[in-house]
Structure 1
């Protein structure tokens, strides 16, 4: 647990710290940049490194200009970790995939608001499968897309990069959106988690947390660290205890 600061640096100016309870956030490891030839071992090593969850970035080369893995790969890797799995479906048509990713062992399935014309129905379908439902919004997507589906949500993911590739630069301007979502959730009184995905590192994790994120997704910062995954996770957790710099 860190001490709550009086304000947070954002875009060169100071901003009041949020009023929500500043519990230490969960660290979610994305396997997007992992060695696909040894994914099981990568998942096991991420688990041993001390992350809290594993995220599977599923891409179809339609919604995003990249392609990754399907439910069979996730299912095979399920045996390598006891941690919760979340499937982040960056795909044009997630509906036919939902049941298969639930069967593959994903405790949470996240769809993009931009791809679901009947978002409430999609979220209800996910919940009917016995798993938790999440919705992700791209940087240019307003939070109004999630305002009226909170009763069917367990998780909201604010993208702090444009989805499709790992290693992108964190978009600090999205912290305002994170804070807006945090306030929306708190006003609703519903136990909806807020996750930030994209560009999380030792330089950005603290600001994303103070903006209101409970889950922080880290990919390249963990998988590409020269000191290894355990060192990367330890450094991220230490970064969350740093004092906020003065302007």
Structure 2
């Protein structure tokens, strides 16, 4: 179990690393299907999405108006450095909007990853809260979609496979290229190898800027 300061340090280091480098490292380590479907893109915020998975699961369930008490209970468990990971079958509806985002941010959550939709995006942007999701929609979840569990294993739509498993405590990373899931058991090894690859790319760019040809750079540094 990683302590609070170690988790904070890992998150800060991942904020400097591209998802493309992490994806390459995961491939090399034998984890080729950790990337999420291309529809997962930044919907709000300007920062990278980087944090520890806190999972929330729901399903389409007709019920009366008046709110989803289970959703509020689920969000109450968020803590500093967490990314809430929302899963379910709610195509066409949003899982949350501005007010839930305020509550998540108050808990120290650093963003959300949504296998579905969100709304109130201009207001969430004003909060500076980063959300990666598959779509935006004005249609609310109340009376349609309901939370049924949290802090449990969930599945999200995958890029190279049908589903990507997310366990509570896995690491979520998202940038302009998309998002992926790093299993908690290998997160430190992935980080260290990704940092090496990132530095190698920095060295290549520096060499190219000083006049080295691409062919010479590839011969010196190899494929990256």
Q: Same fold (TM over 0.5)?
A: no
Q: Which structure has the higher relative contact order (CA within 8 Å, separation 6+)?
A: 2
Determine which structure has the larger strand proportion and give its number: 2
Rg larger in structure: 2
Structure 1 length normalisation: TM-score? 0.36
